[in-house]
């Protein structure tokens, strides 16, 4: 019997080149314009977003289903996040938060809906948000945008965020470093949460997909080995269940990432007072 290939659940996360583009140097840095599977997936996600809003942004008084879906997604950011957390002062920041929510949502859903191409070692699709470089970029961009906005709006007074009011000076010596560490670790937790959830779910799905095929091949041998079809079918059922769970996780993680970004933004917009 031919030896079965090893199960490699991490193979689906490997980046490989699709099209070799030009390379050029700027200031000692080399920029490679090649198209990889990661870049191709992000381009596809951008195209999906543009087409979605091009088809739904009609402004009809009585919206059709597509427009209602778009307005519902916008309301999640406006009515559920920005309004209750920041208040009316948060209106100018809705475009960024909504863009952040939609980009993560689409990339997450692409990774789940198209993940069937990554089962059993295939490399037909790519989950962008399973790459720490991508989630870290989104987290760092969000964090430092909020951080610099704090200085633009409040100047040096924004440093008061690290010094709780009413605390004795002796305790401030210890609390300020602790507050600063907890504040600047935020992009790490933002990036790791999204990355870990998308990576872990796809690894488990890939493992069960490999079990389906491997056990089915054993079952084809006949005799007692035919019993292997039972765990093969059970593994397939687990894939179906996990796919449903991953869809929920994909939506939830986009919401959580945006919700935390909204909370961080609230500290800047309503710095020193409630709303």
Q: How far apart are CA 257 and CA 233, in angstroms?
A: 36
Burial of 85 (0-12, 13-18, 19+ CB in 10 A): middle
Contacts of residue 248, defined as CB under 8 A and 6 or more positions apart, other chains included, come to none
Q: Where is pLDDT greater, at 112 or 260? A: 260
Give pLDDT tens digits for 11-69.
667 777 888 888 888 877 787 788 888 888 889 899 999 999 888 877 677 778 888 88
Say what the pLDDT of residue 85 is. Answer: 93
Alpha helices, H only, 114-185: 132-154, 169-184
Give pLDDT tens digits for 177-198.
888 898 889 999 999 999 998 8
Q: How far apart are CA 248 and CA 109, in angstroms?
A: 9
Mean pLDDT of 241-247: 87
Say what the pLDDT of residue 120 is. Answer: 46
Tokens 């933004």 found at: 265
Say what the pLDDT of residue 55 is. Answer: 86
The number of CA neighbours under 13 Å toward the Cβ of 56 is 16
For residue 129, give the nearest of 139, 119, 142 by alpha carbon: 139
Mean pLDDT of 103-130: 73
35-36 and 17-19 beta bridge pairing: antiparallel
Asked whether residue 236 carries a pLDDT value surpassing 80, the answer given is yes
Give pLDDT tens digits for 63-89.
788 888 888 999 999 999 999 999 888
Tell me the chain's radius of gyration from C-alpha atoms.
Answer: 24
Give me the residue spans of the domains in the chain. 9-269
Q: In which band, very low, low, confident or very high, does the pLDDT at 121 lie, cut at 50, 70 and 90?
A: very low
Contacts of residue 126, defined as CB under 8 A and 6 or more positions apart, other chains included, come to 12, 13, 15, 37, 38, 40, 41, 111, 118
Q: How far apart are CA 213 and CA 51, in angstroms?
A: 37
Asked whether residue 2 carries a pLDDT value surpassing 50, the answer given is no
Q: Where is pLDDT greater, at 176 or 106? A: 106
């Amino acid at each position: 019997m031919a030896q079965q290939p090893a199960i490699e659940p991490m193979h689906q996360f490997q980046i490989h080149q699709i099209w070799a583009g030009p390379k050029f140097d700027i200031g000692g840095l080399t920029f490679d314009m090649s198209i990889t599977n990661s870049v191709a997936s992000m381009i596809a996600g951008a195209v999906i977003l543009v087409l979605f809003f091009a088809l739904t942004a009609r402004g009809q008084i009585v919206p059709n289903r597509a427009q209602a879906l778009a307005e519902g997604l916008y309301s999640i950011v406006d009515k559920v996040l920005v309004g209750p957390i920041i208040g009316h002062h948060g209106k100018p920041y809705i475009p960024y938060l909504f863009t952040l929510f939609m980009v993560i949502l689409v990339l997450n859903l692409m990774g789940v809906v198209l993940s069937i191409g990554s089962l059993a070692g295939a490399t037909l699709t790519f989950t962008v948000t399973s790459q720490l470089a991508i989630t870290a970029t989104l987290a760092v961009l969000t964090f430092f945008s909020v951080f610099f906005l704090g200085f633009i709006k409040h100047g040096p007074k924004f440093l008061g965020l690290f010094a709780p009011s009413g605390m004795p000076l002796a305790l401030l010596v210890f609390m300020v470093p602790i507050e600063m560490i907890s504040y600047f670790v935020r992009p790490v937790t933002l990036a790791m949460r999204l990355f870990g959830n998308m990576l872990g779910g796809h690894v488990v799905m890939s493992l069960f997909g490999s079990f389906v095929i491997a056990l089915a091949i054993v079952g084809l041998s006949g005799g007692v080995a035919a019993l292997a079809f039972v765990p093969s079918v059970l593994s397939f059922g687990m894939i179906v269940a996990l796919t449903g769970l991953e869809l929920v996780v994909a939506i939830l993680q986009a919401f959580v990432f945006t919700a935390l970004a909204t909370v961080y933004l609230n500290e800047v917009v309503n710095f020193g007072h409630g709303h």
